[in-house]
């Protein structure tokens, strides 16, 4: 695959000014760049979702211009998207065989056929533990991520495009095994990730974009992380995290949990104080998601006691949690499914959390929403021009900034942040870390789960480890080392 001089604009906004990349058969090639660099736009063009305004694309030396995703798949090009395309109301088998489901002579879906075929594929790719008859909405995010990747593996005989494929995976073992199989058969892989250690493990070359333009091709063995960041950002890397002094400022208990049970949470106890960040570390499926849902009112507590500001706290909904005491606000895990409203402007997405403040006005205008969201979007360093744009056209990092701004706009003093930097670049992480620290320095309290142990080690004041739905260990600053977290997360 050769891409040369590809351009794409959305009105006055230029997403790609000049995109160049060359992919060799049988290689895993990295595409690097900060959020907003144009990576996702190129993915949509290669996948047939968007058409370029200019430029050329060649596949095996022949002009390539897909008009739809099915056009791309007909050319043996398939994509595993960062925002999963798995349909939660369908079964695993139906998702894997879409859009062409086999039918019976009565024109009904041949469920026996699709279940058998799906089971064979799952077994072939090491996912035999997944039931092909299961509804995908009931699976964990990690399993849905694997299914998204499997769909691409099945269809991408010439090129597989992976956009942040490990953002929801607990480890890379399964994925890297499958990619080795694919490349041995001559398939090219375009690998997009912000995790440089993964890039170095599986890729030899990388193409770097900045502000919608091709910057450079680099041999990874000859480039340091600092070199790569400088090419991506056009500046030297700032420290991604910095030592926190918030522990010394921690005040009274803001949020308490005593032997709380519900869902996969068997028994969890902790105290979160004003002025601190309490981390949560856990392998996938150990109860961390249910814990956050219990606290924010998404799920019901079966036993145990929560307290907020020293008073009993048992919200029946996220709105009730927000309106209780000093307020509890939740930043969900999946921004596409649980977070953004894609048809609305970025300003509207930010101001949803303050909608009741607009009730005294005769009508709500985009200008009033932009004005109301300005201070909160400034806290996350969002460019003002993005506020008037549909949030769906923003990069994942800018969408995440908008969601964090929405949480700040609630004026809640306790925030539940579930993997708040998943799938965002180093520069955006720095901005989000700074915003979170500023909130806590002002007396706020944060309960933060992260799938990146380095983030927990550097950002949190204390870290709670969950294993099989209960407290496995707790570490304080100075003790939060990755190897200790891994042991505790594994029940050792």
- Is 170 in the same domain as 296? no
Residue 400: pLDDT band (50, 70, 90) is very high
Q: What is the CATH number of the domain that holds 149?
A: 3.40.50.300
Q: Is residue 150 part of a domain?
A: yes
Q: Judge whether 441 and 465 are in contact, CB under 8 Å.
A: no
Beta bridge partners of 217: 207
Q: What percent of the chain has pLDDT over 70?
A: 95
pLDDT at res. 77? 97
Highest mean pLDDT: which range of 5-19, 384-398, 440-454: 440-454
Among residues 179, 209, 233, which one ends one of the domains?
233
Pure H helices in 75-218: 92-97, 111-124, 141-155, 173-184, 196-202
Q: Judge whether 277 and 297 are in contact, CB under 8 Å.
A: no
Among residues 182, 206, 233, which one ends one of the domains?
233
Q: Is residue 103 part of a domain?
A: no
- Is 394 in the same domain as 316? yes
What does each C-alpha distance from 141 to 57, 226, 285, 334 come to in angstroms? 34, 32, 9, 9
Q: Judge whether 410 and 384 are in contact, CB under 8 Å.
A: no
pLDDT at res. 14? 86
Question: What is the pLDDT averaged over residues 232-246?
Answer: 55
Give 369 or 127, the one with higher predicted confidence.
127
Question: What is the pLDDT averaged over residues 393-409?
Answer: 91
Question: What is the pLDDT averaged over residues 251-275?
Answer: 94
SS3 state at 233: helix
Which residue matches tokens 């969890």? 268
Domain extent at residue 186 = 2-89+135-233
Q: Is residue 367 part of a domain?
A: yes
Beta bridge partners of 28: 189
- Is 173 in the same domain as 251? no
Question: What is the pLDDT averaged over residues 109-131?
Answer: 92
Q: Is the per-residue pLDDT at 246 higher than 60?
A: no
What distance in Å separates the CA atoms of residue 465 and residue 452, rounded to the nearest whole number?
13
pLDDT in tens, 167-220: 878 889 999 999 999 999 999 999 998 888 899 999 999 999 998 999 999 999
Give 437 or 35, the one with higher predicted confidence.
437
Domain count, the chain: 2
Which residue from 455, 356, 352 is spatially nearest to 402, judged by alpha carbons? Answer: 352
Pure H helices in 327-481: 346-351, 366-379, 396-409, 426-441, 453-459
Which residue from 329, 469, 297 is spatially nearest to 411, judged by alpha carbons? Answer: 329
Q: Is residue 119 part of a domain?
A: no
- Is 47 in the same domain as 73? yes
Question: What is the pLDDT averaged over residues 56-73?
Answer: 95
Q: What percent of the chain has pLDDT over 90?
A: 65
- Is 330 in the same domain as 201? no
- Is 204 in the same domain as 339? no
Q: Is residue 100 part of a domain?
A: no
Question: What is the pLDDT averaged over residues 123-146?
Answer: 93
Question: What is the pLDDT averaged over residues 337-363?
Answer: 83
- Is 206 in the same domain as 252? no
- Is 263 in the same domain as 390? yes
Q: Is residue 80 part of a domain?
A: yes
pLDDT at res. 98? 86
Q: Is residue 128 part of a domain?
A: no
- Is 203 in the same domain as 255? no
SS3 state at 156: coil
Q: Is residue 106 part of a domain?
A: no
- Is 139 in the same domain as 281? no
Q: Is the per-residue pLDDT at 354 higher than 90?
A: no
- Is 23 in the same domain as 56? yes
Buried b (16+ CB within 10 A) or exposed e, 384-399: eebbebbbbbbbbbbb
SS3 state at 22: strand
Q: What is the DSSP string of 273-342?
A: ETT-EEEEE--TTSSHHHHHHHHHTSS---EEEEEETTEE---SSHHHHHHSTT-EEEE-S-IIIII--T
Among residues 233, 255, 282, which one ends one of the domains?
233
Residue 240: pLDDT band (50, 70, 90) is very low
Q: What is the DSSP string of 96-111?
A: HHTT---B-TTSSB-H
- Least confident range from 199-213, 274-288, 359-373, 384-398: namely 359-373
- Is 81 in the same domain as 193? yes
């Amino acid at each position: 695959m050769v891409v040369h001089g590809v351009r794409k604009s959305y009105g006055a906004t230029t997403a790609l000014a000049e995109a160049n990349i060359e992919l060799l058969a049988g290689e895993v090639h990295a595409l690097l760049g900060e959020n907003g660099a144009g990576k996702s736009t190129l993915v949509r063009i290669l996948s047939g979702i968007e058409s370029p305004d200019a430029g050329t694309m060649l596949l095996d030396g022949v002009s390539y211009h897909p008009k739809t995703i099915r056009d791309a798949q007909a050319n043996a090009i398939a994509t595993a998207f960062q925002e999963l395309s798995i349909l939660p109301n369908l079964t695993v088998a139906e998702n894997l065989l879409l859009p062409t489901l086999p039918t019976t002579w009565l024109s009904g879906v041949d469920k026996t056929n699709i279940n058998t075929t799906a089971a064979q594929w799952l077994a072939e790719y090491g996912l035999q533990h997944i039931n092909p008859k299961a509804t995908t909405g009931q699976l964990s995010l990690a399993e849905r991520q694997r299914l998204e990747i499997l769909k691409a593996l099945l269809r991408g005989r010439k090129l597989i495009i992976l956009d942040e494929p490990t953002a929801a995976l607990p480890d890379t073992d399964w994925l890297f095994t499958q990619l080795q199989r694919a490349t041995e058969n001559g398939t090219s892989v375009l690998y997009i990730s912000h995790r440089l250690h993964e890039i170095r493990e599986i890729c030899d070359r990388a193409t770097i974009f900045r502000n919608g333009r091709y910057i450079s091709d680099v041999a990874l063995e000859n480039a340091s992380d600092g070199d790569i960041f400088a090419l991506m950002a056009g500046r030297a890397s700032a420290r991604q995290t910095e030592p926190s002094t918030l522990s010394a400022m921690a005040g009274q208990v803001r949020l308490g949990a005593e032997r709380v049970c519900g869902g996969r949470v068997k028994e969890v106890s902790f105290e979160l104080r004003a002025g601190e960040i309490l981390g949560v570390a856990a392998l996938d499926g150990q109860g961390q998601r249910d814990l956050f849902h219990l606290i924010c009112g998404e799920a019901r507590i079966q036993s145990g006691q929560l307290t907020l500001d020293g008073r009993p706290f048992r919200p029946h909904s996220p709105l009730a949690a927000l309106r209780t005491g000093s307020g509890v606000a939740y930043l969900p895990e999946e921004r596409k499914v649980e977070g953004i409203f894609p048809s609305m402007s970025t300003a509207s997405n930010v101001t949803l959390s303050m909608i009741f403040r607009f009730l005294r006005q005769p009508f709500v205008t985009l200008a009033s929403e932009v004005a109301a969201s300005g201070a909160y979007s400034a806290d996350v360093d969002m460019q003002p021009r993005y506020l008037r744009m549909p949030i769906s056209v923003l990069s994942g990092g800018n969408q995440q900034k908008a969601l964090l701004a929405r949480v700040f706009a609630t004026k809640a003093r306790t925030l539940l942040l579930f993997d708040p930097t998943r799938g965002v670049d180093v520069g955006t992480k720095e901005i989000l870390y700074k915003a979170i620290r500023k909130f806590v320095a002002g007396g706020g309290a944060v309960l933060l789960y992260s799938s990146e142990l380095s983030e927990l080690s550097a950002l949190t004041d204390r870290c709670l480890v969950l294993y099989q739905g209960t407290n496995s260990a707790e570490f304080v600053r100075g003790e939060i080392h990755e190897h200790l977290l891994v042991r505790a997360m594994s029940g050792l």
